[in-house]
Amino acid sequence: MSNSPFDTASAAESNAFTLVIVSGMSGSGKSVALNTFEDLGFYCVDNLPAELLPQFVQNVIKAEEGMPTKLAVGIDVRNRHSDLANIPEWLSAVGALGADPRLVFFESSDGVLLKRYADTRRRHPLSQFGLALADAISLERQVLKPLRQIADAIVDTSELNVHQLRRHVITEFAMGGDAGMSLLFESFAYRRGVPADADFVFDARGLPNPHWNPALRPLSGRDGGVRDYLEAQADVNLYVEQISQFLDTWLPRLQADSTRSYATIAFGCTGGRHRSVYLAERMAEHARTRGWNEVAVHHRELD
């Protein structure tokens, strides 16, 4: 999927701002990627005029309090095409300001893009020129070629669904650096299968199920009502205590005995909406209190 490593270590070591430029073909998943970066704490701006990139970064750096250190900006064919050729110059200007710019280019095959547009009935950004969809895709690929050539990572999303793309962004681009092993806590529904690359899988189907409470059924494990319900159950608290002890014991050993950059801890329940979501969120919070600096959460059936 990605033909170039996306190294965040240099930014972490120099305490520079991390700037991710999200670009690529319309319909390839750029919006999903940018939303995922935002969920992971990046300050995100979509469709920023490319010429304003250095000014945007400078304004963020000059902010006195609460300034973000991780930025993600969407720049694509909606920009003036003449400006896209100047991207290398503006990335150099951004680097001179103390940021660490990386460009991620998302693409898909023409056939997949055509199908996605047919399924969603959205208009292609270049359709305003009276082009047929296939011609608009061909022109866009040509216009964006300079950006693809300088990309730090190229992601082909032809074989990825939305959930797989979100997970790929989390594990490949938004975690890591000098923080050691990163942790991804994931919730899922057993009826849709166990995540194939989970390192630890915990079954929550034996716990009390909020689904059978009509007031809680429309909610998820991220909502206060569901949390209050589950935390009032003795079995849930015992489960959390035992899983916490297990992870506190074995995650540090996994980190010490391997060169992996991240580990995935998955919690499953029947629908992937209440118990597993609650547990993924709660155990991620516990991991942060135990000193794990890079912790992300992915809810397969919700995100």
Average pLDDT of the segment spanning 1-11: 46
Whether the per-residue pLDDT at 224 is higher than 60: the answer is yes
Furthest CA-CA distance within the chain: 64
Which residues are part of a known binding site for ATP?
A: 24-31
The percentage of residues in the chain with a pLDDT greater than 90, rounded to a whole number, is: 54
Residue 213 vs residues 225, 226, 274, 278: alpha-carbon distances, Å? 11, 10, 11, 16
92-133 pLDDT tens trace: 998 888 888 899 999 999 999 999 998 888 889 898 888 899
- Residue 16 in this model has a pLDDT that exceeds 80: no
What is the reported pLDDT for 212? Answer: 96
* Per-residue pLDDT, 180: 65
Local structure of residue 150 (DSSP, 8 states) = T
At 175, the pLDDT band (50, 70, 90 cuts) reads low
Q: Does residue 10 carry a pLDDT above 50?
A: no
- Please, where are the H alpha helices in the chain? 9-14, 30-39, 53-62, 81-84, 87-96, 110-120, 133-143, 145-149, 162-172, 224-231, 234-256, 275-289
The span from the CA of 29 to the CA of 118, in Å, is 15
The strand pairing partners of 46, in sequence order, are 74
**Rounded to whole angstroms, how far apart are CA atoms 91 and 112?**
31
- Residue 21's pLDDT is 93
User: Is residue 144 within 8 Å of residue 24, measured between CB atoms?
Assistant: yes
Binding residues for GTP: 76-79
The pLDDT, as a whole number, for residue 11 is 43
Q: Map out the domains of the chain as residue ranges.
A: 9-172, 182-299
Select the more confidently predicted residue: 187 or 119. 187
Q: What angle do CA 183, 159, 194 make, to 5 degrees?
A: 45
User: For 280-299, what is the mean pLDDT?
Assistant: 91
As given in the structure block, the two tokens for residue 143 are: 């216009």
Alpha-carbon gap, residue 220 to 205, rounded angstroms: 15
Residue 50's pLDDT is what? 86
Sheet of strand 153-156, all strands in order from the earlier edge strand to the far edge: 43-46, 70-74, 17-24, 99-107, 153-156
Question: 3-class DSSP state for residue 237?
Answer: helix
Please give the single-letter amino acid code of residue 292.
Answer: W
Which among 274, 204, 213 has a CA at the least distance from the CA of 236? 204
Residue predicted with more confidence, 7 or 40? 40
Structure tokens at 178: 């000098």
Instruction: Assess whether pLDDT exceeds 80 at residue 78.
Output: yes
The pLDDT of residue 2 is above 80: no
- Residue 282 burial (C-beta neighbours within 10 Å; 0-12, 13-18, 19+): buried
Task: Give me the pLDDT at residue 59, please.
Answer: 86
Q: What is the mean pLDDT of residues 12-24?
A: 74
Q: What is the pLDDT of residue 98?
A: 82
C-alpha to C-alpha distance for 278 and 222, rounded to whole angstroms: 6
Q: What are phi and psi of 263, to 5 degrees?
A: -130, 145
209, pLDDT greater than 90: yes
| 295-299 sheet: strands from edge to edge | 200-203, 262-269, 182-189, 295-299
Helices 30-39 and 162-172 sit at what angle, rounded to 10 degrees? 50
Cα(120)–Cα(115) distance, integer angstroms: 9
The arrangement of secondary structure in 9-172, i.e. its CATH architecture, is 3-Layer(aba) Sandwich (3.40)
Going by the annotation, the residues of the binding site are 24-31, 76-79
Taking only Cα atoms into account, the Rg of the chain, rounded to an integer number of angstroms, comes to: 21
| pLDDT of residue 262 exceeding 90 | no
pLDDT band at 64 (very low <50, low <70, confident <90, very high): low
